[in-house]
Amino acid sequence: MTNSIYEYVRKFEKDDSIMRSTWIVVRVDGRNFSNLTKNWEKPFDARGGRLMNKCACEVMRSIGDIVFAYGHSDEFSFVFPRETTIFQRRSSKIMSTVVSLFTSNFVHYWDEEFGEQNQKTENQKEQEQEKENELEQEQLQEQEQEEEEENENKKERVKQQSIKMPFIPSFDARVIVYPNVEILRDYFSWRQVDCHINCLYNTCFYALLNDGLSNNDATLLLKDTYSSDKNELLFTRFGLNYNNVDPIERKGSLIYKKKVKIQLKRKDTNEYGTRTKNLIFVEHRDLIQDTFWNEYPHILEVKKKNKKSVSKRRQK
């Protein structure tokens, strides 16, 4: 439309640039997921958890500016650092890009988790979990090699009951802006507390259903109960210690990037060398306390401006 008589219509576009030096969070939420997940295992389907994590990892690979993501159930939150200039910090552009990438990957990877030929046995799930827990203790390999191993594992998976996608899934999204790290951390604490509350309730609810109670009876039994009451119910009635529930259910998924040194073998000389690569890691642990953030301070580190470049701009 350059130099056309209709170019004036651009004046009606709203400037939605986000204030500089603020942290940007994009939260993606599933729409109508109660129907989409109707045939999933309850209270938690590990396949759905892996699917959501894959989508989040792909979003982080596609958008390099994202430094951290946290998710549970049908939601994921992505953090852009305060110094980001991606899309000129336009809110609509950032939000639409994140949610479209997440949705497209959700559709793309559905069959990898729920398809007939690509289901994992319980033994394979346990082996994968053990491997994930030992990642930091083992020598890290190049990401391409990990993908090759995953492809080989797919060939060994046995048939299990598949779940067809009942309808095309969709996600909504919102952008939230936070002025400092303290409030940003409080946001993630809020989301993890929500994860804990939902997990504890659902664990009790479906345990009661499996014990023969109806939906209404289980709902009435849990009405107005505190966390301590639910923990007591699980232990005394079902012999279940809530702390033994899978961490991904209780804590959600923390996804971050970390620079690591990787050994590479040159094809021409067969000699080994090392290089640094930014890899993506997934953990299921507490983020409310300081331990996680102290271990990985680079995640929420505020990058300092180059004083020389600033002074040069001022001189100009």
Binding residues: 29-30, 73-74
> Residue 207, SS3?
helix
Q: Measured between alpha carbons, how far is 265 from 283 in angstroms, rounded to an integer?
A: 29
One-letter amino acid for residue 280 of the chain: I
> Which one-letter DSSP state was computed for residue 158?
P
Which tokens hold the place of 282?
């997934």
Please give the annotated binding residues for Mg(2+), written as ranges: 29-30, 74
Please give the annotated binding residues for GTP, written as ranges: 73-74
Q: Measured between alpha carbons, how far is 102 from 146 in angstroms, rounded to an integer?
A: 22
Contacts of residue 72, defined as CB under 8 A and 6 or more positions apart, other chains included, come to: 191, 192, 194, 195, 198, 199, 251, 252, 253
CA dihedral 226, 228, 233, 234 (to 10 degrees): 120
